[in-house]
Homo-oligomer: A and B are copies of this chain.
């Protein structure tokens, strides 16, 4: 936030990895981040940098707010269902699990090895900063106020976000119908993979890559839709997505530099 103004004035193309331009409402920002927003006038210029939703705007943008790792996993999981009005917007529960690098490199007792190794904990249960960012973008998709329950957990592994999303179908739907909506929604997307019936993604499958993998299940009563999405918080959840945004902004091949991955 401190340097974006001068970069913007010099007509640089900017991908900001911080949270400073993700929230459209500076009051919400100030409430969650406990600091005054210093570049309010740029907020309306900023584009939320999720290419699967906002590719055209990113292409024209000068300032892209790179999404958080949880929001990337969770918005990608819910977007097809909300956009197509498949699920109720008032009964969405997200149980999210993050590898420890998701908590950053700042030293803390919570991320001290003997504290989190052989441990598992829920944190910021009463409110995580990524919550308003998710609700903002999900509400845009649903074209109505979406409110989610979001409980993040820290698990003893280095990389990865695993989001288990519990939702209620607005009308009964068969698995195949839901899956087709998801396949259509992401059909051109190089980094999104919708799994086959009965398959659910694992963190290992996306480690080191820019991919997001999504598995779906409809229960027997056709009332509930379970969506599981996984990504690597350091790649699709951070720097990989930043490179993807840069590629789009600069008219480079979108996948350039992003096709590797350990698995």
Q: Which residues of A contact B (CB under 8 A)?
A: 91, 93, 95, 97, 99-101, 105, 107-109, 111-122, 125-126, 149, 151, 153, 155-160, 162, 164, 166, 198, 200, 202-204, 207-208, 215, 217, 219, 224, 226, 228, 260, 262
Contacts and interface: CB of A to CB of B under 8 A. Distances in A.
A156 B153 contact: no
A156 B200 CA distance: 17
A152 to B, nearest CB: 10
Given A95-B95, A117-B113, A121-B200, A226 B151 contact: yes
Given A120-B162, A166-B149, A105 B112 contact: yes
Q: How many copies does the complex hold?
A: 4
A215 B153 CA distance: 14
A67 B233 CA distance: 35
Contact of A122 (B108, B118, B200, B204): B200
A260 B258 CA distance: 12
Contact of A157 (B111, B118, B162, B203): B118
Contacts of A217: 125-126
Contacts of A157: 117-120, 156
Contacts of A215: 122
B156 A126 contact: no
Contacts of A125: 200, 217, 226, 228
